[in-house]
């Protein structure tokens, strides 16, 4: 790999990961706004932080370097240029109007990098303002946000994805999450640690969320298409990864447009080079279209004609693209009801630290037993509070660097 960062699989030894420790943005959740902010409940914040710290510690104990998104953001905001970009992005929303937008823009420039990072992540309510008063502040309900909080930053998986040595800035579908990629884009563009790392995609492109993108094997991506990633999103990503030489096959995998299956990584995740833990209630119906390059007529991503194969069973299409005999399926739970319960609780959402070593929520007892029976070492973590945002270890982590898989 040319750059110091990157990942070509789901299971190569994890070296560096980006996490977000739950912070003041979670204090913004109330029973009135939690649905809109994509949480199923109101987490107990200090317990969520304890659970998250234990997750980070479990990773460090296995030699993984843990980066925190807010630390990177604060360091990024020490640059005048980065501050300028961050402030103009957050104040350009049409809902602010000129009076409030102008005030906020000036007031934010006076903040320290630490305070500015808190404002950008935890947001600002109308009744917290100390200036910029006018028509907009008078007419907006007092408890409305003039800068929205970002409680789903916890799920760092979704707002950027490393594919080999490139980082894809994603384009998030739900209004509550759109602003997250302003922050990841800024960090990757301006933080010295990532200087020179090439980027693809971007928030201005068609919707693609990181939870839908699985690096099945070097050169092979599976991309869920459902509530979050659109058909046009997977087409754009395929064009970009082919153009940059990052993959030879992209499997487009339709998934039901439901909350329980919001991303492909809610129904399956890789735990070994040829093993995947999968929700059995969808396993038989999951299909994939293999997308490859039919013809290249120029250097740009629009200069490609794509070949789109007919639908095949997912496991068959995946094994073919990965050039292995079989992609072995490990079922979530033992019966359909347990499977449904454990899938909902992110039993499928494991984070591999190496081939056959995976972090999983402890509550999914049957799935974890099945993983162990299949020879997978399970590092179990508590997630009673973390899970209220509907995400497990994979959702809560963005692998920045994994060791390349040994060539066979």
Ligand X SMILES: NC(=O)NCCC[C@H](N)C(=O)O
Q: What is the smallest separation between the CB atom of 74 and ligand X, expressed in angstroms?
A: 24
Interaction of residue 266 with ligand X, rule CB under 6 A: yes
What are the structure tokens assigned to 138, written together?
């008078």
Number of residues that bind ligand X (CB under 6 A): 16
Q: What is the DSSP secondary structure assignment for residue 72, as one 8-state letter?
A: H
Alpha-carbon separation of residue 112 from 78, 155, 190, 285 (angstroms): 8, 26, 17, 52
Of residues 348-407, those binding ligand X (CB under 6 A): 389-391, 395
Interaction of residue 262 with ligand X, rule CB under 6 A: yes
| Closer by beta carbon to ligand X, 150 or else 357 | 150
- Residues 38-57, one symbol each (x = binds ligand X by CB under 6 A, - = not), give x-------------------
| Closer by beta carbon to ligand X, 157 or else 239 | 157
Interaction of residue 347 with ligand X, rule CB under 6 A: no
What are the structure tokens assigned to 180, written together?
């997250």
Residues with a catalytic annotation lie at 395
Interaction of residue 263 with ligand X, rule CB under 6 A: yes
Q: What is the smallest separation between the CB atom of 263 and ligand X, expressed in angstroms?
A: 4
d(CA 292, CA 110): 50
CA neighbor of 208 nearest in space, from 181, 246, 244: 181
CA neighbor of 39 nearest in space, from 47, 27, 51: 27
Interaction of residue 22 with ligand X, rule CB under 6 A: no
CA neighbor of 10 nearest in space, from 322, 330, 257, 289: 322
- Residues 155-174, one symbol each (x = binds ligand X by CB under 6 A, - = not), give x-xx---------------x
d(CA 73, CA 146): 21
Q: What is the smallest separation between the CB atom of 349 and ligand X, expressed in angstroms?
A: 6
- Residues 184-223, one symbol each (x = binds ligand X by CB under 6 A, - = not), give ---------------------------x------------
| Closer by beta carbon to ligand X, 107 or else 174 | 174
* C-alpha 44 chain-centroid distance: 23
Give the CB-side neighbour count of residue 336, counting CA atoms within 13 A: 4
| Closer by beta carbon to ligand X, 180 or else 272 | 180
| Closer by beta carbon to ligand X, 383 or else 389 | 389
| Closer by beta carbon to ligand X, 152 or else 240 | 152
Segment near ligand X (CB under 6 A), from 152-160, 272-280, 319-327, 332-340? Answer: 152-160
Alpha-carbon separation of residue 279 from 261, 273, 286, 318, 331 (angstroms): 10, 18, 10, 16, 6
| Closer by beta carbon to ligand X, 265 or else 342 | 265
**Residue number of the CB atom closest to ligand X:** 211
- Options 185, 265, 274, 331; binder of ligand X; rule CB under 6 A: 265
What are the structure tokens assigned to 60, written together?
């460090």
d(CA 330, CA 356): 12
Q: What is the smallest separation between the CB atom of 10 and ligand X, expressed in angstroms?
A: 13
CA neighbor of 262 nearest in space, from 340, 174, 350: 174
Q: Is the dihedral of CA 402, 404, 238, 288 positive or negative?
A: negative
Q: What is the smallest separation between the CB atom of 190 and ligand X, expressed in angstroms?
A: 25
Sequential DSSP letters for 249-260: EEEEEE--SSGG
d(CA 191, CA 178): 21
Q: Can you give the binding site for ligand X, defined by CB under 6 A? A: 38, 152, 155, 157-158, 174, 177, 211, 262-263, 265-266, 389-391, 395
């Amino acid at each position: 790999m040319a750059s110091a960062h990157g990942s070509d699989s789901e299971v190569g030894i994890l070296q560096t990961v980006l996490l977000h420790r739950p912070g003041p943005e979670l204090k913004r959740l109330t029973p009135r706004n939690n649905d809109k902010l994509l949480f199923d409940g109101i987490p107990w914040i200090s317990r969520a932080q304890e659970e998250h710290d234990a997750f980070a510690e479990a990773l460090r104990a296995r030699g993984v370097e843990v980066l925190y998104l807010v630390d990177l953001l604060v360091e990024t905001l020490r640059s005048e240029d980065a501050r300028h970009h961050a402030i103009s992005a957050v104040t350009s929303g049409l809902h602010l109007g000129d009076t409030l937008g102008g005030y906020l823009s000036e007031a934010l420039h006076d903040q320290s990098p630490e305070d500015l990072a808190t404002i950008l992540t935890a947001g600002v309510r109308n009744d917290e303002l100390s200036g910029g008063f006018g028509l907009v502040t008078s007419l907006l309900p007092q408890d409305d946000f003039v800068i929205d909080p970002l409680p789903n930053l916890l799920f760092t998986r979704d707002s950027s994805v490393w594919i080999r040595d490139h980082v894809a800035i994603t384009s998030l579908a739900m209004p509550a999450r759109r602003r997250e990629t302003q922050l990841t884009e800024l960090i990757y563009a301006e933080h010295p640690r990532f200087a020179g790392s090439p980027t693809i995609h971007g928030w201005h492109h068609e919707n693609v969320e990181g939870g839908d993108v699985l690096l099945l094997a070097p050169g092979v991506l599976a991309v869920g298409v459902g509530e979050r990633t659109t058909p046009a999103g997977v087409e754009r990503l395929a064009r970009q990864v082919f153009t940059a030489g990052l993959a030879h096959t992209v499997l487009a995998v339709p998934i039901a447009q439901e909350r329980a299956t919001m991303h492909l990584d809610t129904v399956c995740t890789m735990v070994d080079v040829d093993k995947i833990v999968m929700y059995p209630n969808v396993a038989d119906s999951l299909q994939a279209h293999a997308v490859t390059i039919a013809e290249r007529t120029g250097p740009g991503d629009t200069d490609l004609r794509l070949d789109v194969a007919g639908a095949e069973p997912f496991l068959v299409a995946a094994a073919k693209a990965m050039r292995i005999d079989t992609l072995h399926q490990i079922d979530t739970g033992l019966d359909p009801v347990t499977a449904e319960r454990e899938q909902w609780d992110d039993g499928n959402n494991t984070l591999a630290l190496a081939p056959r070593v995976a972090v999983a929520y402890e509550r999914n007892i049957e799935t974890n037993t099945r993983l162990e029976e299949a020879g997978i070492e399970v590092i179990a973590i508590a997630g009673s509070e973390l899970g209220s945002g509907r995400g497990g270890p994979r959702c809560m982590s963005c692998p920045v660097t994994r060791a390349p898989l040994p060539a066979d």
